[in-house]
Amino acid sequence: MNALPEDDRPPSARRAAVALRYEAGEPAPKVVAKGKGVLAEQILARAREAGVYVHESPELLGLLMQLDLDERIPPQLYVAVAELLAWVYRLEQAQRGGPPPGPSTPA
């Protein structure tokens, strides 16, 4: 593990977060919130209060932090974000007690 000088800062100062929103009919999800430090902590707290799943992926976070607010994700990130949305869908199904989606799940 590589230790960076930034690691001496408090955890809230190192944290970053990006919130995406996708609505049916839209061409792709878009960035609706992003920030570092205290702002990231607020984004994460609001997500948890709203029952939104939080997924940690430093690689994806780094790419999404480069996007502007209200910018749709680029086609290069479609697969990664689709996998993330599928993960969230599976979690929601499991929480509701339904069968996990998959090849054996009837349509």
pLDDT digits (tens, 9 = 90+) for 13-62: 568 999 999 898 999 999 999 999 999 999 999 999 998 888 888 999 99
* Domain 5-73 indexed as CATH 3.40.50.300: no
pLDDT digits (tens, 9 = 90+) for 51-102: 888 888 899 999 999 999 999 999 999 999 888 888 888 888 888 876 655 5
Domain boundaries, the chain: 5-73
pTM listed for this prediction: 0.71
DSSP one-letter string for 32-92: EEEEETHHHHHHHHHHHHTT------HHHHHHHTTSPTTPBPPGGGHHHHHHHHHHHHHHH
The pLDDT value given to residue 4:
36
The pLDDT value given to residue 87:
85
